[in-house]
Every structure is written in C-alpha cells, then in structure tokens.
C-alpha cells in the first residue's frame, strides 16, 4: 500500500474514502497532491473490496480551494503545461475507473477543486460549499478540464458566465443550475454521501460499472452509436453470475447476493 503525505485513503466495508488532506493550505493542489490523489483512486479501483468511492476534503473550510498558487507563480509555459497535464491525469483516472466516485464537497471548491469535483460521477454538497472557476482573476484560465466539463454539466451559457466573470456561487445556486445533485447541512454531508455509496454498493458491481461506462462514453457518441454501446454492454451482462443471481433473487422475492462475477 502506498504511503501518502497529502491524502488519506480509508476503506470501510465496500466504501473507500479518499480525503485531500492539506488542511492548512485549504487542501490546495500541488503536483505531489495531484499524484497522490491519482494513486489513491487507482488503489480504490484495484481493491476487490471496494464498490464505491467518496472523494472529499479535510476540515470544515474546503473541499479543495484550488491549485497551489505558490507552486504556480513562477512557472513558465513548459512547467504550466506539465502541471495542467498532472491535473488532467486525475480527471482521466476518475472518468476511466470501473467504480463510481461521489464528490462530497464540504467547503470551497474553486478552480482546480471545482474541476476535481466535476470529474466525479456526481456531487453532493454541504450548505457551506462554494463553487467557482476564478482563474481569470489571476490572469489565466482553468487548466484541469473546467472549460470542458463545466459546459457539459450546466450548459455553455452558464459555464461561460462563471468562467469569464470568475464569480463564486453558493451551494443553493449550484443546485439550481445543476452543478450539484443535492445539498445537505454540513454536519450531515458525509453521512448522506455514505448512505448513497452504500446503496450503490448493494447493487450488482458489474452492472454499476457498465452503466457508468454507458453514460460516460455514450455522452461522447451520436445517439445511434450510444444506443449500440448500451445494447452491447446490456448483452455482456447476461454472461455474468450476477445477472443470474439478480433475476433469480427477484423471482424468489429475496435480496440478491452480488459477487461482481
């Protein structure tokens, strides 16, 4: 198991929790932290025990307050390109995992923090959460996928407004525009995220993985090609033990015992 400096990785039952843990820096993302997040997510994806992942930030103030400006300020174009690629790599890991990831946003999710949450499958937020892409205030633009994932989630017009103004929005506004799925009182956020993760973990793991793939990959395809992908993944599940168990359990009016096989 890797040794982490800026990330906590914990497994409880079927659920892995990855916590960005640079609380004194409001969990800001430097290169090392980005690498550790990618490693922890990879560890969760390869852990046979894990069926769902929760990604959150340490402390009460921030999920991730952004990229670490102290590391960025003196970068030239070559270093900045490498830093952007490190951020993109985390998003790529999140998108290509077999297991779903819930972002539990407990405070500031700004810049790279908002981009990290956007790469997750969906977002639960504390009522104290704040979201934004304020990079233009620093003379730059989002570099970890914000200009691409934000419009895909909330539409081009709203995304353009947030990116060009650099404005921050609260949890209720984020819910209204579809950036987050649900908002909870701060003290209840992790309980509610865990409750959802437990529900997902109770379903067929292969079905969850294939459903996730169909939605994510299908979004990049034409409707016809997306339907072809869905039909193929649907058919492949009929070669699994989980499909037989799930349907036999339904007919027998009992709970299914899925094994991911």
In 3D, which of 196, 144, 152 has the Cα closest to residue 38? Answer: 144
At residue 134, the 3 state secondary structure works out as helix
Which of the residues 36, 43, 115, 230 is marked catalytic?
115
| Residues 114 and 145 sit within 8 Å (Cβ to Cβ) | no
What is the distance between the alpha carbons of residues 146 and 152, in angstroms, rounded to a whole number? 10
What stretch(es) of the chain map to CATH 3.90.226.10? 7-201
Which of the residues 135, 173, 188, 232 is marked catalytic?
135
What stretch(es) of the chain map to CATH 1.10.12? 205-252
Is residue 9 scored above 70 in pLDDT?
Answer: yes
What is the predicted pLDDT for the residue at 1? Answer: 57
| Residues 68 and 25 sit within 8 Å (Cβ to Cβ) | yes
Give the CA angle between residues 76, 133, 218 to the nearest 5°: 100
Q: What is the mean pLDDT of residues 68-85?
A: 91
Q: What is the mean pLDDT of residues 68-89?
A: 92
SS (H, E, C) 140-203: CCCCCCHHHHHHHHHCHHHHHHHHHHCCEEEHHHHHHCCCCCEEECHHHHHHHHHHHHHHHHCC
What is the distance between the alpha carbons of residues 169 and 182, in angstroms, rounded to a whole number? 15
Per-residue model confidence as pLDDT tens digits over 243-256: 999 999 999 999 99
What is the predicted pLDDT for the residue at 15? Answer: 98
Identify the band that residue 67 occupies on the pLDDT scale cut at 50, 70 and 90.
Answer: confident
Is residue 135 part of the annotated active site? The answer reads: yes
Per-residue model confidence as pLDDT tens digits over 15-26: 999 999 999 999
Q: Say what the pTM is.
A: 0.94
Per-residue model confidence as pLDDT tens digits over 119-167: 999 999 999 999 999 999 999 999 999 999 999 999 999 999 999 999 9
Spelled out in words, what is the top-level CATH class assigned to the domain 205-252?
Answer: mainly alpha
At residue 19, the 3 state secondary structure works out as strand
Identify the band that residue 3 occupies on the pLDDT scale cut at 50, 70 and 90.
Answer: confident
In 3D, which of 86, 14, 111 has the Cα closest to residue 54? Answer: 14
What is the distance between the alpha carbons of residues 75 and 30, in angstroms, rounded to a whole number? 12
Identify the band that residue 29 occupies on the pLDDT scale cut at 50, 70 and 90.
Answer: very high
Beta-bridge partners for 126:
184
* Residue reference for tokens 């650099």: 166
Per-residue model confidence as pLDDT tens digits over 79-90: 999 999 999 999
Q: What is the mean pLDDT of residues 99-121?
A: 97
Burial class (CB in 10 A: 0-12, 13-18, 19+), 74: exposed
Per-residue model confidence as pLDDT tens digits over 216-248: 999 999 999 999 999 999 999 999 999 999 999
Contacts of 258 (CB under 8 A, 6+ apart): 202, 203, 204, 205, 242, 245, 246
Sheet holding 168-170, edge to edge: 62-64, 108-110, 130-132, 168-170
What is the distance between the alpha carbons of residues 9 and 215, in angstroms, rounded to a whole number? 27
Average pLDDT over the chain, rounded to an integer: 96
Per-residue model confidence as pLDDT tens digits over 164-209: 999 999 999 999 999 999 999 999 999 999 999 999 999 999 999 9
The fourth-level CATH superfamily of domain 7-201 is: 2-enoyl-CoA Hydratase; Chain A, domain 1 (3.90.226.10)
């Amino acid at each position: 198991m890797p040794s982490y400096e800026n990330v906590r990785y914990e497994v409880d039952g079927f659920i892995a929790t990855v916590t960005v843990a640079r609380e004194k820096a409001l969990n800001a993302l430097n290169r090392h932290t980005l690498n550790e997040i990618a490693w922890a997510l990879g560890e969760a994806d390869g852990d046979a025990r894990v069926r769902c992942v929760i990604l959150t930030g340490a402390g009460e103030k921030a999920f991730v307050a952004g990229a670490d400006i102290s590391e960025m300020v003196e970068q030239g174009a070559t270093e900045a390109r490498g830093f952007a690629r490190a951020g993109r790599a985390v998003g790529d890991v999140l998108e290509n995992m077999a297991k779903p990831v819930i972002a539990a946003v407990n405070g500031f999710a700004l810049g790279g923090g908002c981009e990290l949450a956007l790469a997750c499958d969906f977002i639960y937020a504390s009522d104290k959460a704040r979201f934004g892409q304020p990079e233009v205030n620093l003379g730059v633009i989002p570099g970890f996928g914000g200009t691409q994932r934000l419009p895909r989630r909330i539409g081009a017009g709203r995304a353009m407004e947030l990116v060009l103004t650099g404005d921050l929005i609260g949890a209720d506004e984020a819910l209204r525009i579809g950036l987050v799925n649900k908002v909870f009182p701060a003290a209840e956020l992790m309980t509610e995220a865990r409750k959802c993760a437990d529900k997902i973990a109770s379903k067929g793991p292969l079905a969850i993985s294939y459903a996730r793939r169909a939605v994510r990959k299908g979004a990049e395809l034409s409707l016809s090609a997306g339907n072809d992908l869905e039909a193929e993944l649907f058919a492949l599940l009929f070669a699994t033990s989980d499909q037989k168990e799930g349907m036999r359990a339904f007919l027998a009016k009992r709970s299914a015992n899925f094994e991911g096989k």
